[in-house]
Structure 1
Amino acid sequence: MAEQMATAGLPEPTDVAEVVVRYLEAIGVEYVFGVPGGAVEPIYNALARSARRGGPRAVVARHEAGAAFMAEGYTRETGKVGVCIATSGPGATNLLTGVANAYDNSIPMLAITGQPSLPSFGRGALQESACTGVNTLGMFRHCTRYNSLVSHPEQVESKLVSAIMRTHRAPYGPAHLSFPVDILRAPAPGSWLNYDLRNLIEKPSLVDIAVVRQLAADIHKADKIAIIIGSTCGEAIEAILELAERTHALFVTTPDGKGLVNPRHQLYRGVFGFAGHYTANAVLLDDPDLVLAFGVSLGEWTSAAWCETVLNNRLVHIDVDDEHLMRSPMARLHVRGRISAVCELLVESLRGDEQRAQERAGKISLRSVEGMLREPEKYESPAVPIKPQRLMRELSRRCPPTTRFYADAGNSTAWAIHYLQPRDRRIGHQHDFGRTHADVGERRQDHAGWLRVIMDFAPMGWAIGAAVGGARGNSDCPCVCITGDGSYLMNGQEITVAAAEKLSVLFVILNDGALGMVKHGQRLAGAERTAFELPTVDYRLLAESLGVPGFVIRSPEDFEQIDIEAILRRKGPTLLDVRIDGEEVPPMSLRMKTLGSER
C-alpha cells in the first residue's frame, strides 16, 4: 500500500494526523463527519490538505451526536466505514450517544476524539478527558468493539489498523481511538502504511458446511416453511428471496428489515414485531414446520417482545453474529456464517427439489398489501387535519422509486413501519415465483434498504443526521427523513448541513404539538397526562429563516400543490411541516405490553 501511495505522487506525511487521514483515504473513506476543536485541529489540517487532492474531506455537523448519526447513515448507504470526530471533553461526551446507538445496532463506525497534550494530564487542562479528568475513554469502553488511547507516535499504525479491522468483523460495531493533541502533531513514524487494509477488511465467507447440509435436509422434509428477514441481510437478499421462491415459503421481515424487500412480493406477509401486521403474526401462528430467521437480532422490537411464536424449537437461526445467536438457545438449529454464503449453498442444494416446492405452493393464498393494514380506511382518508396513515400513503405514491426513507424514533417509526408501502420498488430483482426482471443497478449493502429505522437504543433525532449522512454517501438517490416535532426540536439544526452540502433531503415533520409516543402511551396506560406538550411552531418559517424552502401540509389536497419529485431533484433540502391529526394512535401496543402498562 505504501508503494501505491508513492506512485500517486503524494509527499510523505509530516505528522501523525496526516498518517491517520492517509489510512482513511486508503480504505476509500470520502467524508469525515464532526465538529472541530483545538484538540483535533491537526486532523482538520490534514483533512483540508486531503480535500484539495480529492481525498477525504470534513463535513461539519452542528452537534457531535449529529455527526455520529451522519457517519452511521453514510455506512448504511455505502457499506464503507463511517468516520466521526470530536474534540476532547464535551465534544467526546456529545458524540457518545451516536456511538452507543451504532453499538446497539451493530453498525460499523470509527470514532476519533481528541485529548489535551500528554504532559498536561492530571493538571486541570481545559476539557481534560483522560483518566485523570472526565474519563471519556472509560465511557467509550462500554459502547465500542475496540477502544484505545494512542499515547505514542509508534502506536498509531497498529492501533488504527486494529480499530478499522474490528469494525469489519462480527459482532459489528464502532471502534474508538483517542489522540492527545501533541501525539497528532508529532512527526510521522518512519514506517507506515505497511498493511493492505482493503484486503484485511474483506468479509470472510465462513460457513459451517455440515450444518447447512442438515438444514437443507430439514427444508426438503418440511411441508410448511416461514422465513423472517432481519436488517443485516442486505447483501444476501437476492439469495434469500430465491430460496423463498424455490421452497414457496411465506416470508415476513423485522421492522428494520422491511426496507430490504418489495412490499408487493406475492410471498410477503408484512412486518413481524413492533408496529407490525397481523398477517405476519398469522404466518408464524399457522404451525410452520420450520421458521428460518436470517440476520434477526431478536431484541424487543424484532422478536415481538421475545414472543414464543418465534422462540421455540421450530426456529432455525442463521447469523454471522454470535451475540444474536445467544438470544435463541431454544432454536432447533444455529447456522453460523456469512448469510449470503449460507443462502447460496442452500439454493444450490435445493435445485431439483421442484416437486416438494409445488406441493407447498398449492397451500399459499394471495394477499394485497393494503389488506395487511390495521386501519385501511384511514390510509385513504380525506380528513383534515391529515391522518398520519394518509400521509404515509402520499409519500408512498409520490416519491420516486430510488428514494431512501429514514423514520425517526417515536411515532414516526411506528407509522412508517406499518403504513409506508412504496410502489414499483426498483431494488434488485422484482421476484415473482421464480420470474425475474432486470436489475437496475442500485448498490446493495448489508445495512441498506429503501426504509431505514433504528431499533434497540433508538435516540430521538437519529433520522435527521442519518438522512444527511446517507445523502452525502450517495447523491444519486433522494432521501426522505420522516421525523416528529419533538425530534426536530432536538436535532433539526442539522438541516443546515444538508443545505451547505447541497443534498437532496426532504424533511417531513409530523407536527402535532406533542411528544406523541409519550402522549399516547400515557393515555393507553391510564397514566397521568403530563409533560408531553410542545410549543406551537411554524417549522416552514423556521426552515425559511435558514435558507431552506418549506411548505405547510394540512390536508391531502395540499399535496396537489407541490411536486415531490421536483423537490427531490433539487440540490438542497426542503421541509414539509405536516399538521397531522394528533389523536390518531400509532400501532404501538407491543411497546405498552413490554412496559407492563397495556390496558
Structure 2
Amino acid sequence: MKGTVALQLVDVLRDFGVDVVFGIPGGAISALYAALLERPDVRIITTKHESTAAFLAIGYAIATGRPGVVLTTAGPGITNAVTGVASAFYEGVPVVHIAGEVARSAFGRGALQEGSPAGFDAVAIMRRVTKMSVMLSHPGPATSVLRKALSTAYSGRRGPVFVSLPLDVACASVDAQPLSGSVRTTFEIDSDATRRALDMLERAQRPLILAGAGTRDLSGRRALRRLAEHVGAPVCVTTKGKGVFPEDHPLFLGVLGFGGHDSVISYLERGVDVLLAVGSGLNDFTTNAWSPLLRATRAFLQIDIDSAQLGKNYPIDLGLVGPADQVIGRMLEHRSDERVSKPLGRGPSLVETQPLVPSPSGALTTMEVVLAMNEACPRDAVFTADMGEHLSVALHYLRVSEHGDFITCLGFGSMGSGIATAIGHQLGAPQRRTFAICGDGGFLMYGNELATAVQHGLRVTFVVMNDSRLNMVHHGMHDLFGRSPDFTTSPVDFAMMARSMGAEGHVVRTRLDLVRLLSDEADGPVVLDVRFDADVRLAGNQRVAALKQFGSSEHDG
C-alpha cells in the first residue's frame, strides 16, 4: 500500500506514542500538516513562536515521557527554534524537531528560506545542539531515518534530534513500511562496582548524596530515597535537581549552588568522607563555580547515564554508568541483612534558610511571594522557573513535596523558558496544577504564549514578579562594577494584558490577596502581576562571586 512520505512519517511518530505536536505552519512544512489531518488522534498545538514551541515540547516530554515534537517551516522557522532545541540538548530531554525545507530542485538557486548545504545549511547549524541532525534526502529510506532519529533521542543521555524534510520528499509516494515501535536502551551495569559503591556508603561516617536532574523520573526518585534512607546519608540537590528529593524529608539538606542553602556549605566545610554525585554534570551553577569544598576524604563516587560526564569536572574514585534508577537498584541488591542502616538524622529538616528581610516600605518581597506559594499551592503542584532573581529565591525558599515537581531549564539559562515549559507540562499532566514563577523581563519575551494556554483551557498560574527592571542584571552589575546602565522598562500591566487575551488577570500588592488568589481553583490560565520591592533580595548570590572569579586574571588563558 502506497502513501505519501509525510503520512508515513506521521505514522512513525504515532507508533512512538506521539499524540501532540507543537509548532507554527508554513509552506515548506505544509505536507506534514496536511498528513496530520488524516490522523486526527494527533493533536496540533499552534504556538506563537518557534522557540516556545520547543519549550512546550520540553515540558510535555518531561510530564509524559513521550517525545516532544516540534514542527516548523524552513528558514526563520528553524533558526527561531534553536534556543528551545538547545535547551532540550542541555537538559537531556527527547525533543524531535522536524523542519520543512524547499524542494530539492531549488537547492543552490537562492530559493526563499533555503536551508540546503548551498544555503544557510540548517543541518549543520542544528548539529551542535542535537544528538542527530539529518536531511531526508530521498523518499525511500525516510521512515527508517526518522525511526533512527527517535531512537537516538532516547538512547543513552536523552536529547533532541533534528530532521530536515524537503517539500518534494514529503509529497512523494512510497510503499508503506512496517512499524517497529519504540526502542529501549539497555545498560550493562558493573555488579562489582555497585557492590563496592554501596559498601563505601554504608561504612561512611559523614556521607553525602548530591542528586541532579538525572534522577527526576519517578523510578529515579524512589531509588534515590531508598538509598538515602538505607545508608542514612543527607541529600542535597543541584539547581536543576530541585524537587527530585522530598524537601520535607528529615534527610534533605538543601540546594547546592545558585540560590542554595548555608546548611549544605556548612556540612561540606565540616568534611565528607564519601560523596556520591548522581545524575549531575556538576557544572558551575551547581557547584558554585567548581568549588573545592565539593570533595571527599575517602571516596568521590559518580553515577551518570553519560560516561563522558564521569570525572569531567571533579576527579572521582569510582564511576558507574547507567540510568540512576537502574544503577541504584543494582547497588541496593547488595544489601545484607546483617547491616544496620544509620539513623535518619535530626529533624524535622536539616535545611537552613536565610532569615527574611522585610521591605522598609511594607511592600511585598520576592521571598514573601514564594513563602505564600508554599502556603497556598497544592502539595502535588508543578512549579517552573527561569532565569532571573526570582529563580534564586524560588530555589532557596520554595518547598517541593514528594508529590510535587520543580522544573527549570538551567543548562542554557533562557529567560522566559519557564512560561512555555509550564504550558507544555500542563498539557501533558492536566490533573496537576502548574505554577510558572517568572520575571517581567521573561514575560515580555514569551508571555504571548498565554494565548495558547487560553485557547486550550490550561490551568497554569503565572506569578509574574513585576518591578519594571531587569533586576538580576541590575544588582549583578552593581556588585561587579559598582554601577549599572538603566535596565528599567516602561511599566506594563500584565493583568490587563492577560484579560486582553481572555485569561484571568490580577494586580497583587499584599500577601493576603496573593494567598487567596493562589488558592483559587481557576478553570483556565491566571496571571498574577505581583508588585514588590525590587531592592530587597536574597543575600549571598554565589553567581556574582563566580563571575568575579571568572573575570579575574587567575582565569586568563
TM-score range, shorter chain: over 0.9
Task: Name the Cα RMSD after superposition.
Answer: 2.0
Q: Which moved more, 1:454-463 or 1:477-486?
A: 454-463
Distance 1:225 1:563, change over 3 A: closer
Instruction: Find the partner of 2:326 among 321, 341, 348.
Output: 341
Counterpart amino acid of residue 101 in structure 1: S
The verdict on how the C-alpha distance between 1:393 and 1:382 changes in structure 2, with shifts beyond 3 A counting, is farther
Distance 1:585 1:377 in 2: 8
1:584 and 2:539 matched: no
Alpha-carbon separation, structure 2, partners of 1:223 and 1:349:
19
Which residue of 2 is the match for residue 562 of structure 1? 517
The match for 2:555 is none
Deviations 1:490-530 (A, max 9, x none): 11000000011111101110001111111110121234311
Partners of 2:541 and 2:178 lie apart in 1 by 53
Counterpart in the other structure of 2:106 = 120
Residues 1:218 and 2:196 aligned together: no
Q: Does structure 2 conserve the Cα–Cα contact (< 8 Å) formed by 1:115 and 1:181?
A: yes
Paired residue for 1:594?
Answer: 546
Shift of 1:172: 2.1
Matches within 5 A, 1:499-518: 499-518=454-473
Query: Residues 503-582 of structure 1 correspond to what in structure 2 (within 5 A)?
Result: 503-559=458-514, 561-562=516-517, 564-567=519-522, 570=523, 572-582=524-534
Q: Deviations over 1:249-300 (max 9, x none)?
A: 1111111111122211001110011110010122222222100111111111
Amino acid in the other structure paired with 1:164: L
* Unmatched runs of 5 consecutive residues or more in structure 2: 553-557
Work out the number of aligned pairs and report it. Answer: 548
Identity %: 30
Give me the TM-score of the superposition, normalised by structure 2.
Answer: 0.94
Output the CA distance in 1 between the equivalents of 2:2 and 2:264: 56
> Does the 8 Å CA contact 2:310/2:316 hold for their aligned counterparts?
no
Kept in 1, the 8 Å contact 2:466–2:532? The answer is yes
Deviations 1:466-508 (A, max 9, x none): 1111111111111111110000101100000001111110111
Residue type matched to 2:7 in 1?
E
In structure 1, distance between residues paired with 2:185 and 2:361: 51
Superposed, which structure 2 residues align to 1:120-519 within 5 Å? 120-187=106-173, 189-194=174-179, 196-198=180-182, 200=183, 202-234=184-216, 235-311=219-295, 314-328=299-313, 330-355=315-340, 357-358=341-342, 361=343, 364-366=345-347, 368=349, 372-376=352-356, 378=358, 384-422=362-400, 425-427=401-403, 450-519=405-474
The answer (yes or no) to whether the contact 1:40–1:181 under 8 Å persists in 2 is yes
SS in 1 for 2:28: helix
Q: Is the 8 A contact 1:483 1:508 kept in 2?
A: yes
Partners of 1:415 and 1:542 in 2: CA distance: 25
Question: For residues 458 and 133 of structure 1, do their structure 2 counterparts lie closer, same or farther at Cα, with a shift above 3 Å needed?
Answer: same
Q: Specify the code of the residue in structure 2 equivalent to 1:559.
A: L
1:326 and 1:223, CA in 2 relative to 1: closer, same or farther beyond 3 A?
closer
Is the 1:224–1:289 Cα contact (8 Å) retained in structure 2?
yes
Q: Is the 8 A contact 1:382 1:556 kept in 2?
A: no
Q: CA deviation at 1:86?
A: 0.8
Q: Matches of 1:343 and 1:553 in 2, distance apart?
A: 45
With over 3 angstroms needed to count, the CA separation of the structure-2 counterparts of 1:596 and 1:377, relative to structure 1, is closer
Letter paired with 1:454: C
Give the residue type in structure 1 aligned to 2:320. Answer: V
Q: What pairs with 1:69-80 in structure 2 (closer than 5 Å)?
A: 69-80=55-66
Secondary structure at the aligned position of 1:71 is classed as: helix
SS in 1 for 2:175: coil
Q: For residue 411 of structure 1, report the CA deviation from its aligned partner.
A: 1.5
Per-residue CA deviations over 1:394-428 (Å, capped at 9, x if unaligned) read 11111112210001211222111011125xx352x
- Distance in 2, matches of 1:311 and 1:133, equals 49
Distance 1:342 1:528, change over 3 A: same
Distance 2:540 2:314 in 1: 28
1:327–1:547 distance in 2 versus 1, CA, 3 Å: same
Deviates more, 1:457-466 or 1:519-528: 519-528
- Structure 2 residue identity aligned to 1:585: R
Are the structure 2 counterparts of residues 291 and 326 from structure 1 closer, same or farther at C-alpha, using a change threshold of 3 Å? closer
Please give the per-residue CA displacement for 1:165-210, whole angstroms capped at 9, x wherever unaligned: 11101232111000111111111x224134x222x2x242431112
Contact 2:242 2:406 (8 Å CA) reproduced: yes
Q: Distance in 1 between matches of 2:486 and 2:181?
A: 50
Q: CA distance change for structure 1 residues 375 and 134 in 2, over 3 Å: closer, same or farther?
A: same
Instruction: Check if 1:45 corresponds to 2:34.
Output: yes
Q: Alpha-carbon deviation of 1:543? A: 0.9
Asked whether the 8 Å contact 1:107–1:173 carries over to 2, the reply is yes
Amino acid at match of 1:579: R
**SS class of match (1:73):** helix
Please list every run of 5 or more consecutive structure 1 residues that lacks an aligned counterpart in the other structure: 1-11, 428-448
C-alpha separation in 1, matches of 2:532 and 2:314: 44
CA distances 1:106-155 after superposition (whole Å, capped 9, x unpaired)? 22111111111000111111111111112221110111100101111012
- How much has 1:311 moved relative to structure 2? 4.8
SS at 2:432's partner residue? coil
CA contact (8 A) 1:48 1:58 kept: no
The one-letter code matched in structure 1 to 2:452 is: V
Decide whether the 8 Å contact of 2:3 with 2:176 is kept in 1: no
User: CA distance change for structure 1 residues 517 and 377 in 2, over 3 Å: closer, same or farther?
Assistant: closer
Give the structure 2 partner of residue 431 of structure 1.
none
Residues 72-81 or 300-309, more deviating: 300-309
Distance in 1, matches of 2:317 and 2:246, equals 29
Distance 1:13 1:516 in 2: 58
Q: Which amino acid aligns with 2:354?
A: R
Q: Which residue is 1:434 aligned to?
A: none
Question: Does the 8 Å CA contact 2:435/2:463 hold for their aligned counterparts?
Answer: yes
Q: Which residue of 2 aligns with 1:21?
A: 10
CA deviations 1:62-105 (Å, max 9, x no partner) are 00000000000111111111111110001100011111111122
Q: Secondary structure at the match of 2:491?
A: coil
Q: Structure 1: which 4+ aligned runs deviate by more than 4 Å?
A: none
In structure 1, C-alpha distance between the alignment counterparts of 2:515 and 2:153, rounded to whole Å: 46
Distance 1:323 1:105, change over 3 A: farther
Contact 1:300-1:456 at 8 Å conserved across structures: no
Write out per-residue CA displacement over residues 35-71 of structure 1, whole angstroms, 9 at most, x where no aligned residue.
00000001111122212xx2x2210000000000000
CA separation of 1:372 and 1:541: change in aligned 2, threshold 3 A: same
- Deviation of the 1:328 alpha carbon: 4.1
3-state SS in 2 of match to 1:566? coil
Report the Cα offset of residue 333 of structure 1: 0.8
What secondary structure is seen at the aligned counterpart in 1 of 2:141? helix
Q: 2:23 aligns with which of 14, 34, 53?
A: 34
CA contact 1:290–1:316 (8 Å) conserved in 2: yes
Q: CA deviation at 1:214?
A: 1.7
Amino acid at match of 1:581: D
Contact 2:436-2:463 within 8 A present in 1 as well: yes
Deviations 1:302-321 (A, max 9, x none): 22211122256631001111
User: Is contact 2:375-2:515 (8 Å) kept?
Assistant: no
